[in-house]
Amino acid sequence: QQQVKQSPQSLIVQKGGISIINCAYENTAFDYFPWYQQFPGKGPALLIAIRPDVSEKKEGRFTISFNKSAKQFSLHIMDSQPGDSATYFCAASRSARQLTFGSGTQLTVLP
C-alpha cells in the first residue's frame, strides 16, 4: 500500500515536444505529491508539488495533473528542451514527511 508506481521507465522526446510521465499510488492517506528532477551525480531537486485539493498546478513549462478518484498524477513538460534531459521521480507522502518515491523515468530530449 506504500508503493508509488511510475511509468514509463525511459522516455525519448524531440526538442519542443511534450514529455508526459505518470504515477499511481495506493495509500489514500497521502496528501502531498512532489516531482523531483535529478541529474547524474546530484541530489534530487524539487520541481513542482501538488496537494489533493486541486486537480492541476502549473509552474512555467511544468504542469502536474492530479486525479484523486483514480489515485493517479502526472507530470507534463511542455516545449521540452535538451537541458531537461534528466531522471524524474514522482513521490508521495503524508504531511510532507517521509517520501515514498517512484522508480524514476529517464528523460532524453533530442536536439
Partner 1 sequence: NAGVMQNPRHLVRRRGQEARLRCSPMKGHSHVYWYRQLPEEGLKFMVYLQKENIIDESGMPKERFSAEFPKEGPSILRIQQVVRGDSAAYFCASSPPTGFGYTFGSGTRLTVV
Angle at 87 between CA 111 and CA 101, to 5 degrees: 155
Nearest distance from residue 16's CB to partner 1, in Å? 28
Phi, psi of 53 (to 5 degrees): -85, -5
Q: Spell out, one character per residue from 30 to 59, where the chain touches partner 1: x when CB under 8 A holds, - when not.
A: --x-x-x----xxxxxx--x----------
Residues contacting 76, CB < 8 A, separation 6+: 18, 19, 20, 62, 63, 64, 65
Q: What sign has the CA pseudo-torsion 67, 68, 74, 78?
A: positive
DSSP state of 45: E
Nearer to partner 1 by Cβ, of 5 and 15: the residue is 5
- Between residue 69 and residue 108, which ones bind partner 1 under the rule CB under 8 A? 89, 93, 95-104
Number of chain residues interacting with partner 1 (CB under 8 A) = 23
Nearest distance from residue 9's CB to partner 1, in Å? 9
Nearest distance from residue 111's CB to partner 1, in Å? 25
For binding to partner 1 (CB under 8 A), which residues are involved? 6, 32, 34, 36, 41-46, 49, 89, 93, 95-104
